Amino acid sequence: MSFNAKAYVAQVRADNAELFAASRENANKYFTSNPSKEELVDHFVGRMVNERMNMVEISNRVANMPADTSPEELEMLSKQAFDEAVHFKLVKEVIEHIAGGEINVAEKIESAAGAEVAEGKSAKGATLLAKYEAATDPVSLALYQLIAEGRAEQVWDEMANCIEDTYVSSRYAKIARDEGFHSNIGAWKLEKMLEANPALVARVEELAPQMRADLMHISNENTALAA
């Protein structure tokens, strides 16, 4: 029987169910615990930084794609880079809405990065783009989109459901929809690559469990409740 790339990618997506459900549950527990305004600002600064990192990494990927890349793929990834820039802006606006005034973005980004370096951790999904060399490994990038962006869709959607402030929830619902589109880009690309070279399944089998484990750790770090 010949290899069925579409069915295989569908199974990879189905295997994300446990991660997605746990991530939604973590987000729900965190936001229904009534965190303080200061805690929310800190939390969303991390998400703002993550969106900016996504924008930079995807833009770098677009800038370095080979000459034979299809116009369809270039268009989709360029749209994703634009979406990430919009998300960065939306989360910044949410932070300022919660804080009641403008924030110094550069200062917040530098402060967030410095704190993570000092603590020896980096609880942001976009860090996996660098870890798995997604700028140069197309399988890694496709899997990141399929798994990490799919998880992001679940988390943003859950946050939109948990937060009663319509200014915030409407923006997060928009981000959730975009993340679902980004996940579909990954599924589309992965299917194309596997149709052309089924041997890449070995790389998928190596990376996918690692990514899910890393994302579960990130989920737990980002929504850990104070003792």
The DSSP secondary structure of 125-147, one letter per residue, reads TTHHHHHTTTTT-HHHHHHIIII
Segment 126-134 mean pLDDT: 71
What pLDDT does 227 receive?
A: 25
What CA–CA distance (Å, rounded) separates 176 from 156? 5
For the segment 170-190, what is each residue's pLDDT rounded down to a tens digit?
999 999 999 999 999 999 999
Is the Cβ–Cβ distance between 52 and 88 less than 8 Å? yes
Backbone angle region of 133, left / alpha / beta, with phi > 0 → left and psi within -120 to 50 → alpha: left
For residues 61 and 206, the model is more confident at: 206
What pLDDT does 77 receive?
A: 92
What pLDDT does 131 receive?
A: 78
- For the chain, the structural domain boundaries read 5-222
Distances in whole angstroms, Cα of residue 11 to Cα of each of 128, 141, 145, 203: 22, 18, 15, 15
Segment 47-51 mean pLDDT: 88
- Global confidence as pTM: 0.85
What pLDDT does 1 receive?
A: 64
Q: Could you say which of 1.20.1260.10, 1.10.357.10, 1.10.8.10, 1.10.1740.10 is the CATH number of the domain covering 5-222?
A: 1.20.1260.10
Nearest to 169 by CA among 227, 94, 106: 94
What pLDDT does 125 receive?
A: 59
What CA–CA distance (Å, rounded) separates 148 from 50? 12
What CA–CA distance (Å, rounded) separates 60 from 5? 28
For the segment 216-225, what is each residue's pLDDT rounded down to a tens digit?
988 887 654 4
Phi, psi (deg, nearest 5) at residue 104: -90, 105
Q: Is the pLDDT of residue 107 over 90?
A: no
Q: Is the pLDDT of residue 121 over 50?
A: no
What CA–CA distance (Å, rounded) separates 147 from 179? 11
Q: Is the pLDDT of residue 5 over 70?
A: yes
From the number of C-beta atoms within 10 Å of its C-beta (0-12, 13-18, 19+), residue 221 rates as middle
Backbone angle region of 112, left / alpha / beta, with phi > 0 → left and psi within -120 to 50 → alpha: alpha
Distances in whole angstroms, Cα of residue 92 to Cα of each of 19, 99, 153: 27, 10, 19
Rounded to the nearest integer, the mean pLDDT of the chain is 87
